[in-house]
Amino acid sequence: MTPPVPRPGILDIQPYVGGGHEADGAERVVVLSANETPLGPSPESVRAYAALSTALHRYPDGDCAALREAIAIRFGLSAARIVCGSGSDELIALLIKSYAGPGDEVLHSRHGFLMYPISARACGATPVAAPEANYTVDVDAMLSCVSARTRMVFVANPNNPTGSYISTDELHRLRDGLPDEVLLVIDSAYAEYVSRNDYSAGAGMVEAGDNVVMTRTFSKIFGLAALRLGWAYCPPAVADVLNRVRGPFNVTAPAQTAGIAALGDLAHVERARAHNDVWLPWLAEQVTALGLVAHPSVGNFLLVRFADADAAAAAYAALLKDGFIARAMGGYGLPECLRITIGLEDEMRGLVASLARHLGADRDRS
């Protein structure tokens, strides 16, 4: 019997390995591996979610009309240009499915978010990784990788896992250097954490033309990762395309109602941002004092570089033993690094103490 054969490219996919959530034997488990907010969801979201529990037999609003309206009001955007999805992962996949296929190239930066190459391969397209400069998107290198087969360019801004970002001017320079028919996708999953004058999430660039899309998520600062909720801000023609290819009920009703409530709780988001503004620089300072390299980050996570891959693996294991789950970076081609999400104060202090113990013990041995 001949077994069914998947389309070319599918078996080249290295399945995405998410951040771990378990540390066997540890008294207390601190998950710092998935860039989730340590403050949890807004109590307003929890209430809205719970209130829906007796209406689970009803299909959700397939248009996400109220949610799109709430997003539009909150961010000063046009609701008609918003398409919601089951996490921004789904929107990334739908965009690639719609605009690239076999023979086409999807460009991303060397240490860009892994779902770009994965989703490209799933559609039979070829992912192309452009070199970075100092773990940051290099616009010139990106442009030099554009070929006649390039259909889409993805920039995570800020980028996961490096934490780096490029300025609005650099984003414009990238757009201006790309052929008009190439779609630029600006993935601004961590936009709410950034407070830099030269940064913008990309909505203005979307509105200025017909070849830029911005994706956003409720998984990070809004604390709704479990519900899978993201949105794309699109030129009208791209929104039309996404609305044709998406499932008719691709966003659940609990996700919609919790998302609307989250948008209304400005204080909760402000608390998360203020917390990050304190503990991100604190963690960077502490790991630097331990002799490690902290890559400058504007997200809610820090990429920490060790002497080599073995040192990073040993630190990962030592942290895990103490219950701290960091994110190993081998899948991103950065085996000498760990990515650490900003947690609560005692979690950050505990993590640094654990790391210091490990590195101290290491030093004593050598």
Residues near ligand PLP (CB under 6 A): 35, 87-89, 113, 156, 160, 187, 189, 217, 219, 225, 230
**By C-beta, is 170 or 322 nearer to ligand PLP?**
170
- How far is it, in rounded angstroms, from Cα 155 to Cα 176? 15
Q: Which is nearer to ligand PLP, 160 or 164 (CB)?
A: 160
Q: Phi/psi at 340 (nearest 5 deg)? A: -125, 125
Nearer residue to ligand PLP within complex by CB, 324 or 332: 332
Q: How far is the CB of 158 from ligand PLP (least distance, A)?
A: 8
Instruction: Compare residues 89 and 170 and give the one whose CB is closer to ligand PLP.
Output: 89
Placement of tokens 């773990």 in the chain: 135
In the complex, the smallest distance separating the C-beta of residue 48 from ligand PLP, rounded to whole angstroms, is 19
Q: Which is nearer to ligand PLP, 187 or 192 (CB)?
A: 187
Dmax over Cα atoms in the chain, in whole Å? 64
**What is the smallest separation between the CB atom of 2 and ligand PLP, expressed in angstroms?**
36
Residue whose Cβ sits closest to ligand PLP: 87
Outline where the chain has alpha helix (H). Answer: 43-51, 65-75, 87-99, 115-122, 139-144, 168-177, 203-208, 236-245, 253-264, 266-289, 309-321, 345-365
Distance CA 68, CA 79 (A): 5
Minimum distance from CB of 85 to ligand PLP (Å)? Answer: 8
> Nearer Cβ to ligand PLP, position 34 or 309?
34
How far is the C-alpha of 136 from the C-alpha of 144, rounded, in Å? 16
Q: How many residues does the chain have?
A: 366
| Rounded least distance, CB 80 to ligand PLP, Å | 21
Task: Rank residues 286 and 341 by Cβ distance to ligand PLP and give the closer one.
Answer: 341
Integer distance in angstroms from the first to the last C-alpha of the chain?
59
- Please check whether residue 290 is in contact with residue 359, taking contact to mean a CB–CB distance below 8 angstroms: yes
d(CA 199, CA 297) in angstroms, rounded, equals: 13
Tell me how far, at minimum, the Cβ of 304 lies from ligand PLP, in Å. Answer: 17
Q: Report in angstroms how near the CB of residue 154 gets to ligand PLP at its nearest.
A: 9
Closer residue to ligand PLP (CB): 139 or 156 = 156
How far is CA 324 from each of CA 35, 167, 219, 220, rounded to the nearest angstrom?
Answer: 14, 33, 21, 19
Partner residues linked to 172 by β-bridges = none
User: What is the DSSP annotation of 133-200?
Assistant: ETTEE-HHHHHHT--TTEEEEEEESS-TTT-----HHHHHHHHHHS-TTSEEEEE-TTGGG---TT--
Q: Provide the minimum distance between the beta carbon of 20 and ligand PLP in the complex, in angstroms, as a whole number.
A: 14
Rounded Cα distance, 320 and 314, in Å: 10
d(CA 252, CA 261): 15
Choose between 138 and 187: whose C-beta lies nearer to ligand PLP: 187
CB of 114 to ligand PLP, least distance (A): 9
Burial of 29 per CB tally in 10 Å (0-12, 13-18, 19+): middle
